[in-house]
Amino acid sequence: MLKHILENGGIIVYGIMFLSIIGFGVILERGIYFLKNERHSGAVLLNHLERYMIDGQKDKAIAVCNGFKNSSAVVIKEIINEYESCSIRGCNYEFLEEKARESALREMPKLEKNMWILGIAAHVTPLVGLFGTVTGMIQAFMAISTHGTGDPTIIAKGISQALITTATGLGVAIPALIFHNFYSKKIEEILHNMEKNAVEFINFLRKQRCRNESKKVF
């Protein structure tokens, strides 16, 4: 099948195949990245951290962050480090929120890496296939104008090329577009969870500080 496509699809089909290779490479690379680095739940992470922070075991809390595989753990680890250093001089929770936002912005390029390449494969491939369709039809009509319509095999090559490039372009673009949308939605969800978990953890630190101060008063 592949041999038939390459032999009869014309030179344009090689461009489509190139886009399919890089698109599949990005799909595989992003899939491995998300499976490896976004496996754990942020809610479970917060449950572990709150227990250690209540007991004042910040080192264990940082160790938990190092063991968890998600972006929220990276952001919250930054919050814990800043919270430990600013506790001495008086904690500014707005400053912690800014540091969390800064850490989240550093994570974004890791999440979005190579997504633009997958976007090209998803959106450009059908256009390349359409271009192959047009050139194939041009060849067919040129054959008709030169040799007439007496022999159907004369125009069959051009029509075959047109249909092959159209089908190949769509065959590459459809899965690329599906995975592009799937990964984009996953990145959006990860960013939302980073922000949500960071805010929840900072609010927990604020409430815990208030409880500790209340105990000192009484």
Residues 105-159 have pLDDT tens digits of 998 999 999 999 999 999 999 999 888 888 888 877 787 777 666 667 767 777 8
Residue 180 falls within a domain, yes or no? yes
Provide the domain limits for residue 23: 2-208
Asked if 71 and 194 touch (Cβ cutoff 8 Å), the reply is yes
Instruction: Assess contact for 79 and 201: CB atoms under 8 A.
Output: yes
Residue 1 has what pLDDT?
66
> Does residue 216 fall inside a structural domain?
no
Q: Dihedral (C-alpha) 11, 177, 33, 42: value to the nearest 10 degrees?
A: 170
The pLDDT score that the predictor gives to residue 6 is 63
- Residue-level pLDDT at 150: 61
- Which residues, given as ranges, of the chain have pLDDT below 70? 1-9, 85-91, 147-151, 154, 210-218
Q: Is residue 137 domain-resident?
A: yes
Query: What is the value of pTM for the model shown?
Result: 0.82
As for how many domains the chain has, the answer is 1
8 Å CB contact between 187 and 118: no
Q: What's the sign of the alpha-carbon dihedral 194, 197, 201, 202?
A: positive
Q: How far is CA 167 from CA 98, 175, 188, in A?
A: 50, 13, 32
